Structures are given as structure tokens and as C-alpha cells.
Structure 1
Amino acid sequence: MIRVERVGPLATIQDLGRPGWFDSGVGIAGAADRASLRLANRLVGNPEGAAGIEVLLGGLELLADRHLTVAVTGAAAPASVDGRPMGAASVLEIEAGQRLRLGFAMAGLRSYVAVRGGIDVPAVLGSRSRDTLSGLGPDPLRAGDVLPVGPPPRLYPIVDVAPVLPPASGLLTVHVIPGPRDDWFSSVTALFAGDWTVSSATDRIGARLDRRSGPALERRVSSELPTEGMALGSIQVPPSGQPVVFLADHPITGGYPVIGVVADAEVDLVAQARPGQRIRFRPCLT
């Protein structure tokens, strides 16, 4: 068991989501930065889809009630065990009575804490993820919560640390596949001209963007668009002209045109972009 002693802005239980429920109106959800959760799980010997803790900006404190093997990945939130600093993406051995603390992230937005055995809360529709849009899954963590840990896997990797770089804190370049509704705009090149800035209204549903430099996204078609399916990474453009990049908890349908879709491998990068960070879109060449 793990006791939650302190929570920062937000901490939720996340795995790789609940696919297969679109016909019931339920999205996949899951970790916003899937690569970081997968890495944390691999470091402690879990299956990649085991449930861990997604931590927004840091501020989490956990108390172990027995020996635990833990890894912290994602945003560069300084980790310490009983006040002793620990390296990023390291395998941490924590004894009963010791506390793992995450400070404020210096780069990136979301950190991931994996525990060998996984966080063993009850699954909802096959997943332990919290979907902040639908309200499915376990509630966001609060001080005083006690989290069960599942049985440890039989195999265990021999590794101390993963040589990964922290999320970028400067200009982020993201590749986009134009369409399916790029023809609704006067020019799709307006998306690729200049820079955008991540808004403070960003959440797990989507990264909302403000224009930093370059031309506005002007609609060529003024009629309403029938509701259609929305994919992870879709760049939806509401009437304001300020696009939203859909993230893990995005709605599965929408009525505003999608000018392009972020390449799947780079959605995780957008999920780590902090408010005020600059984003530049580039068209995919293949």
C-alpha cells in the first residue's frame, strides 16, 4: 500500500486507457504522455500498460508502508526520498516509512510515478484511468488516500537509470498531417506560418493555443459542420480561430472543423508543453 500525504495541482491514476468503447460514447483516455508512462513501467518491470500516477507540475508526496520499487519519468520534477535527491528516470528502492517527494517541475508538465506491481485500484470498463471529461475511473488523488499495489511481476529488469532527456522547455516543433477539413480554411499554410503559444486553459482534454505570430486561421466555409469523429491529436478550430490540440481525454465527436492531426508519436510532446511555451507546426512529408 501507498499513502498519499500531499498532492499538488492534480494527480490522477492513469494506464494506457480503455479502447473499444466508442460505440458507447466513451473515449480511450489514459496517460497524456504515453511514452513516459511506458518507460516508468519498464523501469520497474511492469507491463507497459500498468496503472501509475500522473502528476501535474509536481507537489506529490507518497509514504510507503513496505518496500517498494518506484520510477519517476516525464516532466523534470526533482524527486527525493526522505530528503535525499534522486536522479531523473531512476529506479528507486523505497523502504517502509520512507517518503517520496516530487518538487515543482522545471520543464514539462506531467510526471509519471510507476510502482512495481502497478496501482491496483478497481478497473472501470477495463481501465484504471481517470477520464476527466466523462468522470469515469478513480477520483483524482487527495491527501489521505491509500493506494493498493498489485503483485510484483516475476521478471525484473537489471537497470538503474534510463538515459532520457527531460521535456523541451523552449520552442517545440510538431509535425501535422493536414485534413480532414483543411479545405474549410482559406489557406492551410496559415497553420504552419509563425508560432503558437500554449494557453493557461490547457488541460487533459486539449492544449489550447494562442497565436503568437503569423496570419490568422480564416474560415473559407461559413456553414455549420455536422458532428463527426475526433481522433487523438486532432487540431480543431472553433469560431475564435484559436486551435485546440486534442489530448487524452478529448471528446470522441465534435462539430468544429479539424484543420490537421498531430503525428501520433508527437502527441506526447504536446501533452508536456507548458502554458506560455511556443509551438511551431510543420507539415508531415510522408
Structure 2
Amino acid sequence: MDYFVEKKSVVRKIWGKSDTVLFIFAGASAEFALNKAVDWLYFTGKLPSDPLGRLFSTVGYARRIVFSSIDEANYAIDTMRKIHTTVEQNRGTTIPDWAYRDVLFMLIHYSISAYELLEEKLSDAEKEEVYNVFYRVGSRMGLKELPPTYIEWLPVRNMHLTENLQKSDYSADLFKQYKKHLGAMRFKVLIEGQKLVVPDRVKELLQFSDFSLLAPVVPVYKISRLMKMDWLLKNILLPSDYKDQINELDVQPGKNDGHLIKTAVAKDLS
């Protein structure tokens, strides 16, 4: 069977561990809130009512593509495009192409920054590998103006960060919802985690300091993983309502999970 991402790819290493994926989730949750097109995420009302659930759905969907066969991954990508087209028809306007690219760019950036925070620095070739996977996702979706290589993508990413982010009433409300659903202590942990992976432009708009209280904790956490004690920290810091989803992040979808792709994509992106 041909897979969308090769079994030995660093992309599978990145998306195959719950802690790395949770930092991807943390960074994306900050940048999502600042995107000028975030009103689209409010259109159905599902994001503000369950922001953590929606972000877990998006992350879970991306993981399914990473661990699927080419045919299954393409089906999932095609279905995602169709669902967004339906939302556009219901609203009577089109989601800007740059907004689709922004989401894709988040997955690229936070895949790299989260892995480098918790594991090790990626080589230029590995970064290119990460970019290529999501480039193929974007190409399948029909996105335009995607740079062909990681190096050519970097200035485009910076341009998007400058032009497409702003702090708005939606931003404030979304962070308010994060705090409501997480609780004050876990919300503080989220903020400190975001500081470790978001780019400077996001820090500037959210008025984040460069120092994170989690910075000295990360080395300790790495040791706890070696001692198989990381589950204890996760149980303390993460909401019990989402523990099943979090535990599933450590389980790579199997080769017989193709039938789950069709139902999961429709549910997660509706």
C-alpha cells in the first residue's frame, strides 16, 4: 500500500506523539484567534461553543491524512474542500484563498516549532519534507500561489503573518472561551505554552513576553518521558473531558482505519 506520508518520514514522528501534537494545537489556537478570516470559524457557531473540541477535530483530521494511504488521504482532502464549499454557499460568499493558505501555513510552522522544542532541531532536508507533505495537501485542495519549496515559503509565511493577522473582538472572545473551557490554571499553562512556539508577530499582537514560565519545565518534562511519567503531568494539566482524545494522539491510525476517514472528516469539519 502506498501511503500519503512515507513510514520513515519525520512527519510521522512529529504527528505520532501526543505532546508534540498538543504544542501544535497550542500554537495554532493562538494564531487562529488572530486571523483576519476568523469570522468564518464563527459562522456555524461551533467554534465559540466548543473551541477545544473543534481544534482537536482539526488536529485529528490532519493526523488521519499523515497516517493514511494516498487514496484515503486524497478522499479526506477532497471531502474537506467540499464541506467548506457548502459553508461558502450557505453564507453566500467565498473564503479567501489566503485564509486557506494561512491554515496550511500554521500546520507547517507548528509542526516544526513543536518538534524542535520537545525533540531536536530539524535539518533543512527534514523541514523540506514537512513542507512537501502540506504542500501536497494544499495542491490537492486547489490552493493557488503555494511556493514550491520550504526556502521559498519562508518569506511568504512572513508576509502572511504581517498582512493577515490582527487582534480583534473575535480574538478576545476566543481567548475568553479558551479560559472558560480550560479553567484559569490550565488557561495559564496554555498561554505559557503558546509563548514557546508562536512566531514574534503573534507574540507582538497578543502582547506576550519572550519569557515563558514553561521554559525551565520543558527539560524536566523530557526526563519524565524517559521515566514514563509524562502521563501523570498530562492528567494534571489537561481537561478530563478531552483525555480520550489526548490518549488517541499516541496511537497511530492503522491500515484498516480507512473506513473511519470518511465518517470522521464529515463529522469534524461540518
TM bucket normalised to smaller: under 0.3
Of the two structures, which has the highest relative contact order with CA contacts closer than 8 Å and spacing of 6 or more? Answer: 2
User: Larger C-alpha radius of gyration, 1 or 2?
Assistant: 1
TM-score (structure 2 length as normaliser): 0.26
As a proportion of its length, which structure holds more strand?
1
TM-score (structure 1 length as normaliser): 0.25
